[in-house]
Structure 1
Amino acid sequence: MEAKTHIALVTIPVFSHQVSLLEFAKRLNHLYKNSFQVTCIIPTISDSPSISSKHYFDDLPSNIQCIFLPPINFEDLRSESLVLESQVQIAVTRSMPLVCETLRSISSSSNVVALIVDSFVHEAHEFAKELNILSYIYFPCSAMVLSMCLYSSKLDETITCEYKDHPQPIEIPGCMSVQGTDLPDSLQNRSSLAYKLFLHRSQQLRQADGIIINSFHEMESKALKAISLISPKNLYGTTFDVYPVGPIIQTRPNIKKHACECWLDNQQPKSVLYISFGSGGTLSQDQINELALGLELSNHKFLWVNVRPPNNKATASYLSNEEMDPLHFLPLGFLQRTKGQGFVMCGWAPQVEVLKHKAIGAFLTHCGWNSILESIVHGVPMIAWPLFAEQRSNAALVTNGLKIAMRTKYNSKGIVVKEEVANIIKGIMEGLESGEIRRRMKELQKFANCAIMENGSSMKTFSLLALKWKSLSRPIED
């Protein structure tokens, strides 16, 4: 009798990373129904997931099982001196004994053939070797960022100053050049722990049998080619395979229509600007004021979701348990003055459903990779407002590389003032440049949808992986 092919996943305590990896598993399940069993091991930093994430996990198919590990002792990591990536890396490292124990338990009773881990879980490759199974990195970011990671040791050797002080744009193999200030947060201070952890994590990418990346050939062909060159003179000194399987975006069953969708139903086509800074982004009080007043000044309709209390640290909401009404921090009278113009909410919104709504004309985004791919799949042009991690690199890609977005400009105090907010909204919603941006976005949308169709580039990659894993399955002995 044929056994289900069992795949083990290990993710990190960041919901956007969990979603991307689990959506990969859902697509595998959809393409090869009843052929795969998936177990996802999830380190945690709190006792219970948020309401929106709980709904997501409850809706997973029956053959995708999630094992939530006991919460990690994380209190001593809540330090202003550590960027988010460092905090996540240290937290995940502390969970490795439990990850190993769980993997051994799963493998002792089932037909596990491959281990797929988030790029922050590089230590788990040793467990795959111990269990004699294939191991893969799941990279939930762009090929441009992957190329940065793989080339980081070379950059470290050839550039002597801080990258942000480098006088020329920095060359990344297969990619457009970027300013040093647009490299990920972890590369902004070369004497920091974050920098050392980034270099180490990037070097460990080579331990994997392959890297599965949430991108697609038609969007990042040059970067993917540079990464996957197999020759003795390969820039990275490695011969691993790279598997682009994107765009993978969040999918959910149709549920009761959200209040913001009902509001959108009453708006004109392409008339509304959607604003979201993702599951972790926060703004300072001054920036909240300027954004709100800029929205009002623009005279354009807007839907602003996930409004949070102010914090000067852009990633504060990932670690904060404070319960305050975020709407109290909006400018006095703003909600009353914009009652007919906008819809503001502090909670979760069904982003994919919002982006595909006919009323949405543009998306003001923090440039998380999931949000960018969701915008591309639904053909929505963007305003790039990056906050942390690799988001400035993503912003550079969508504005200067793909040219499907406009990017906000900061004043000398690091604030996007209300006049800039209003002007860029008018630019993306009605300006001459917006026509070209929309045309390019529509073209990229077609490529994205083709990639995930039958015989599309990403679907061929899925089939290659699936057939390889199924060939390793052992029959169940009677």
Structure 2
Amino acid sequence: MEQTVVLYPSVGVGHIRPMAELAKVFLSHGYDVTMVIVPPPIKSPAMDASQVERIAAANPSISFHVLPPIPIPDFAGSGKHPFLLTIQMMRQYYNDKLESFLRSIPRQRLHSLVIDMFCVEATDVAEKLGVPIYTFYPSGASPLAIFTQLPALFASRQTGLKELGDTPLEFLGVPPMPASHLLAELLAHPEEEIIKATVSIYERGMGTRGVLVNTFESLESRAVQALRDPLCVRGKMPPPIYCVGPLVGNGAGNGEKTERHECLAWLDAQPERSVVFLCFGSLGTFSEEQLKEMAVGLDRSGQRFLWVVRMPANVGDPMRILENQCEPDLDALLPEGFLERTKDRGLVVKSWAPQVEVLNHPATGAFVTHCGWNSMLEGVMAGVPMLCWPLYAEQKMNKVFMTQDIGVGMEIEGYMTGFVKADAVEAKVRLVMESEEGRELKALVAARKKEAETALKAGGSSHAAFLQFLLDVENLAQQQLAE
């Protein structure tokens, strides 16, 4: 009897996409896979239903089951942080709907339930039904190592972390982390609800049968070792950690012929490794003033560039932005004459570009990124050095890992002030494209690319970790039968 694996991603394309890549790994081992999707609670590019539909269309072998929608909570008027409202929504409304769906699958066919780290409320459902439950962490081992050590940190503090500023905090398995680089929500007072909820999520996420992480052993060996250390998880033995990444799409879609994006044809005409690609994720927006400053820096650098520009939005917590999704007016947003002046060496694309295909194009020589984990892995798999401009969430933490531990990026100064100057853009773009330091960085990234490819091959560390995961689930099933 074919067995079915149920995957339960958190809302948001940044969570659904890597879980769809995990689904492909299950499919390659002969399992049926169903992804259970929660309708997005707010309208934003990161939670756009059409993007989910594109992912589904590109993966016809995966079944997608969208749970029935509920009346959308009043995110703007409640006064509560959207993160807290989302967790509450998952528990109060969607646990029952998830349970009904799981009950529709014969128990002997149901292999396991793999939940996103932010879907830990579903643990109650799995325990009730006796289904083996595992956590999937779409980011890396390094941020996870920090998050699992937070309960001990907060237990020892009477005040919030915000007052520490850039004071480095020591955690097992990672470089010293400036307090200011943690998630903004973690800088509150330890007694605040947002802190308690965040800590609880990571504690429960580390309390399942095991954790699959979107990384490979050699990329973050220190952090992976820390996650297996009892000192890292307060008061209990850590669960098995399975490094099964990098889980990155190839940008090829579902094999159907689709119109090739204009930027790829433009790249075809550029010299090898000559183009700087600037792209900042589905929520990466800047003020009009910052966009103009970036343009000046790119103009002065003299380098070829491909730049994805989104409509400016209110700067702040991206979860709160009900973004205007209309296309940007480039002539109004960018300096006068910029597009004309740079037309022979630059291309500005509105709103979106096929990032994986751009990164893997022979003309792409560097990547200016917001340091989202998916984007970082895509850069590694393409062998492209990165310039780090973190914006929100855990991206400032990722910047530290990328520049200090993993060795695939350089920092663009000024991001902590909220405004990066043209001089900083010009200097770092020139550095990565023209200098000996840039050449050394390219060599380091090329080595990481080879490590990643080796990890995914039969006999590689990520392939072996996934086989071990499957064996552990099988052993657990036999144990349950014996009982």
TM-score by length of 1: 0.90
- For the Cα contact (< 8 Å) 1:282–1:313, is it kept in 2? no
Q: Can you list the C-alpha shifts for 1:248-298, whole angstroms capped at 9, x where unaligned?
A: 112334544221111100001111011111112211222122112211221
Is residue 2:39 matched to residue 1:44? yes
Q: In the alignment, what sits opposite 2:481?
A: none
Find the counterpart in structure 2 of residue 173 from structure 1: 172
> Which residue does 2:388 correspond to in 1?
384
Residues 451 and 458, structure 1, Cα contact 8 Å, conserved in 2: yes
Are residues 75 and 321 of structure 1, via their aligned partners in 2, closer, same or farther at CA, if it must alter by over 3 Å? farther
Partners of 1:131 and 1:219 in 2: how far apart?
37
3-state DSSP class of the match of 2:111?
A: strand
**Equivalent in 308, 319, 323 of residue 322 of structure 2:** 319
User: What corresponds to 2:278 in structure 1?
Assistant: 275
| Further displaced range: 463-472 or 239-248 | 463-472
Unaligned runs of 5+ in 2: 479-483
Write the distance in 1 (CA, Å) between the matches of 2:453 and 2:38: 33
In 2, are the aligned partners of 1:355 and 1:375 still within 8 Å (CA)? yes
- Kindly provide the amino acid, as one letter, of the partner of residue 412 in structure 2: T
Asked if 2 retains the 8 angstrom alpha-carbon contact of 1:280 and 1:317, the reply is: no
Distance 1:267 1:204 in 2: 49
Matched to 2:176, the amino acid is: S
Aligned residues of 2:36 and 2:65 also touching (Cα < 8 A): yes
Report what 1:409 is aligned to.
413
Unaligned stretches of 5+ residues in structure 1 = 474-478
- C-alpha separation in 1, matches of 2:63 and 2:267: 35
Partner of 1:452: 456
What residue number does 1:476 align with?
none
Alpha-carbon separation, structure 2, partners of 1:9 and 1:262: 37
Cα contact 2:408–2:445 (8 A) shared by 1: yes
CA distance in 2, matches of 1:136, 1:294: 46
**Which is worse superposed, 340-349 or 452-461?**
340-349
Partner of 2:224: 224
Aligned residues of 2:391 and 2:415 also touching (Cα < 8 A): no
Alpha-carbon shift at residue 314 of structure 1 (Å): 5.7
Q: CA deviation at 1:408?
A: 1.5
Q: Point out the more displaced range, 79-88 or 250-259.
A: 79-88
SS in 2 for 1:76: coil
Match of 2:348 in 1: 344
Secondary structure (helix, strand or coil) at the match of 1:117 reads strand
**Cα distance, 1:23 vs. partner?**
0.5
Q: Which aligned pairs between 1:181-260 and structure 2 lie closer than 5 A?
A: 181-190=180-189, 192-229=192-229, 237-251=236-250, 252-254=253-255, 255-256=257-258, 257-260=260-263
Instruction: Return closer, same or farther for 1:261/1:412 CA change in 2, 3 Å cut-off.
Output: closer
Post-superposition offset of 1:210: 0.6
C-alpha contact (below 8 Å) 1:278/1:306 kept by paired residues: no
Give the alignment of 1:353-364 within 5 angstroms.
353-364=357-368
In structure 1, distance between residues paired with 2:203 and 2:423? 44
Structure 1 range deviating more: 133-142 or 435-444 = 435-444
Q: Give matches, 1:367-446, under 5 Å.
A: 367-410=371-414, 414-446=418-450
1:192/1:427 CA distance change after superposition, 3 Å = farther
Cα distance in 1 between the residues matched to 2:70 and 2:290:
33
Bigger shift: residues 442-451 or 366-375: 442-451
Cα deviation code 1:346-377 (max 9, x no counterpart): 23322111111110010000111000011111
The alignment's TM-score, normalised by the length of structure 2, stands at 0.89
Q: CA deviation at 1:221?
A: 1.2
Amino acid at match of 2:132: L
- Alpha-carbon distance in structure 2 between the residues aligned to 1:303 and 1:208: 43
Q: Is the 8 A contact 2:141 2:213 kept in 1?
A: yes
**1:107 Cα shift?**
3.0
Pick closer, same or farther for the CA change 1:94–1:364 going to 2, 3 Å. farther
Is the Cα–Cα contact under 8 Å of residues 272 and 359 in structure 1 kept in the other structure?
yes
Pair 235,75 (structure 1): closer, same or farther in 2 beyond 3 Å:
closer
Code of the residue aligned with 2:172 in structure 1: it is P
- 2:103 and 2:396 mapped to 1: Cα distance? 41
AA matched with 1:57: A
Aligned twin of 1:158: 156
Q: Aligned letter for 1:260?
A: C
> Which residue of structure 1 lines up, in the alignment, with residue 53 of structure 2?
54
Tell me if the contact between 1:282 and 1:315 (Cα under 8 Å) persists in the aligned partners: no
Distance across 2 between alignment mates of 1:411 and 1:440 = 24
The match for 1:7 is 5
Instruction: Pick which of 88-97 and 177-186 moved more.
Output: 88-97
Deviation at 1:414, TM superposition (A): 2.5
* Segment of structure 1 superposing worse, 84-93 or 212-221: 84-93
Residue 140 of structure 1 contacts residue 214 of structure 1 at CA under 8 Å; is this kept in 2?
yes
Contact 2:82 2:320 in 1 (8 A): no
Q: Which amino acid aligns with 1:265?
A: D
State whether residues 99 and 125 of structure 2, in contact with CA within 8 Å, keep that contact through their aligned partners in structure 1. no
Any idea what the Cα deviations from partners look like across 1:54-80, whole Å, max 9, x if unmatched? 222112132x21112244544521379
2:307 corresponds to 1:308: no
Given that residues 125 and 135 in structure 1 are in contact (C-alpha distance below 8 angstroms), is that contact kept between their aligned partners in structure 2? yes
Distance 1:355 1:75 in 2: 38
2:174 maps to a residue whose letter is C
Q: CA deviation at 1:108?
A: 4.4
Percent identical among aligned pairs is: 29
